[in-house]
Every structure is written in structure tokens, then in C-alpha cells.
Structure 1
Amino acid sequence: MFGGKPDPKKVEQIMKKLNMKVQQIPAEEVIIKMKEKKIIISNPEIMLADMMGREVYQISGDVSESVLVNEDDVRMVMDKTGQDRDTVVKKLEELDNDLAKAIMELKGK
């Protein structure tokens, strides 16, 4: 909007001047799940504003993305490697769902 990271206090003051009800929401992490990936916002600053009867959330923070793993893929890699579910899920996320590479790495090849 103005370049750089907006100051939440200034945003809150501006919104109050426009007669918008505003509150900050304390949170440790925000996760937005989409069909094939999720967006993770760490150390979020969350503002909730009431705009004409609608709740509007403004979220800023440290953003990262993670590919969601398919349960069939997880089971298949578990069967091929003998590894537990948590280990397989972490490896698939690390490798962006590259099944062949995950199997090779988990088998130690």
C-alpha cells in the first residue's frame, strides 16, 4: 500500500477515524488451506474490522508455503519404505511431493 510494512497502530487509528470497529487478535500462526497447498503465516499481526456489518481480517507476518500431501501417496510411500506416517509426511513436504525421491531418501539410497 505505502511500501514497507504498515504500522498496525496507525492502521487501527485510521480505521477508527472512519468509524470502523477495530480490534487486534493475538495469534501465533495463521494457516490458509487450499486444495493443493497451504499458506503459513508465522508471527502474525491480525486486525479484525467491522465494515458495514461484515467482519474483515487483515493479516500480515512471515509467510511460507507448504504443499499438501495426498493420503494415498503417504500410504504408498509408507508401504515402500516401512517408515511411519509422520516421517513420510515430513519428507514429502520437504520434497514438494516428489514420491520417487522421497522413497529413495527414506530407503537410504
Structure 2
Amino acid sequence: MFGGGGGLNPRKMEQMMKQMGIDVDEIDAEEVIIRTEEYDLVFSDADVTKMDARGQETYQVIGSPEKVESGAAGAGGDAGADAGAGADAGSEIPDDDVELVAARTGVSEDEAREALEANDGDLAAAVESLE
């Protein structure tokens, strides 16, 4: 019914998009994490394409995600540094982490340390268990 072999030539599609002011770039992503309240979606080895249409950026992620517990994927900001410090020291919980949990929850430092040890040094989980 339609000629042309079932689709547009990718080169022709690229030319048309450039004429419309749309730039497309492939991003060499190692991992993509989408966080929701209930769970995280982790895309390992995802194909990521960024499309810029006159200042409006759109990202397309192609791959099969693994669904994991919320907050379990990766470590953002200070959480990664804290997890690394705890892991390097074995089961030793940094005093700064203990003070932070104690201040946040209003419990004693001993209770904060116990909560951190029970949650493998995870600050957010320790605070949550005490609240």
C-alpha cells in the first residue's frame, strides 16, 4: 500500500528533523534510574537519546528496567559518600552519621548508633526506623 520499504530512510529523517530545528544526540549512559515513591526503575546499558526541539529537551530511554525497592538504586549526593565511608570502615559507623540521626530524630546517640547498625549504615532507613 505504501511504497518505500516500510519506513523513512534514517538519513532522510535526520535531514527533516534538522530542517525543523530538532537536534538529536545519543548519550553514552551507564545507568538510568527513575525514582518513584513506591519503587525505583533501574536501566542498565540503556540506549538514551536526547532530542532538542527549539529549546525543549526530551530524553528517550530504551531498555528493560529492573524494578527495585524505592531508594535502593544508586546513591545520590551525600548518601553515596556516607555509604562508602561506612563500608571502608567495616561495621564502624561514623560519629557524624550518629550525630545527624540523633539530631534528626531526637533520640540518644546510643539509640541512633543502634539504628544505623541495624540498617547497615543507611541514614534514611535509620531515621525512618526511629520516627
Highest CA radius of gyration, 1 or 2? 2
TM-score between the two structures when normalised by the length of structure 2: 0.42
Structure 1 or 2: more strand by fraction: 1
TM-score between the two structures when normalised by the length of structure 1: 0.50
Question: Which structure would you say has the larger RCO, counting Cα contacts within 8 Å and 6 or more residues apart?
Answer: 1
